[in-house]
Each structure stands twice: as structure tokens, then as C-alpha cells.
Amino acid sequence: EAGVTQSPTHLIKTRGQQATLRCSPISGHTSVYWYQQALGLGLQFLLWYDEGEERNRGNFPPRFSGRQFPNYSSELNVNALELEDSALYLCASSWGRLLNQPQHFGDGTRLSIL
């Protein structure tokens, strides 16, 4: 079974630009989650999408947004990039919204802001 796939692997942007990160969940999974892993800050929850709807978001400014498509893939958009947005962005997926379904992670997109 194919795992969670993320693209691109690396993304280099400058301050003020916009970045789009993409995620394809495991086949059959309807929930997609986004996390930020910044140096020294650990893994921080960003967003949760399920069945095309945003179900929850973490403590991040509105310039972090996303969407989930009918095929359950997802995009994370970061507008007005700042230097501190440099991080590894991880996508995870799970089967539905049930709590007893563990999240499965992709390899991540490393976003570097110059």
C-alpha cells in the first residue's frame, strides 16, 4: 500500500512570497492533518481536514490555510512568508474521524525561507 506522499520534497522561497505544499493520503483515508516541525519547537499541529471540511486548526496565524479536495488530497498554503516559517511540514492521514485511528505520516516538505 502506498503511504502518504508529499510534494515537493524541498521548497525555497523568499520573504513575502507564497508557498503551496501538497499531500496525498493513503488510499481510503479521508482525514488529512498538517504539522509544522520547526527547529527547537517540535511537532506542532497546524490543520485538520476531513471530508473536505476544515475540522480544527492549531495556534497559527490566518496566513496558514489549506483545503481538501474531493479525492481527499490536500494543499497547505502559506502566504506572506516569514523567516520563521522555515521548517519541515508534515502531512498525515487517517481513516475517518474516529479517535482510535492512528495518523500515518509522510516524508514532509522542507520549506526554506531566504
Which positions lie near other proteins, rule CB under 8 A? 3-4, 31, 33, 35, 42-43, 45, 48, 50, 55-56, 58, 90, 92, 97, 99-100, 102-108
Nearest CB to other proteins, comparing residues 81 and 93: 93
Question: With respect to other proteins, which residue has the nearer C-beta, 9 or 71?
Answer: 9
Nearest-approach distance from CB 79 to other proteins, in angstroms: 23
Nearer CB in complex with other proteins: 81/94? 94
Half-sphere exposure of 53 (CA within 13 A, CB side): 5
27: left (phi over 0), alpha (psi -120 to 50) or beta: beta
Query: Closest Cα to residue 74, out of 30, 27, 23, 110?
Result: 23
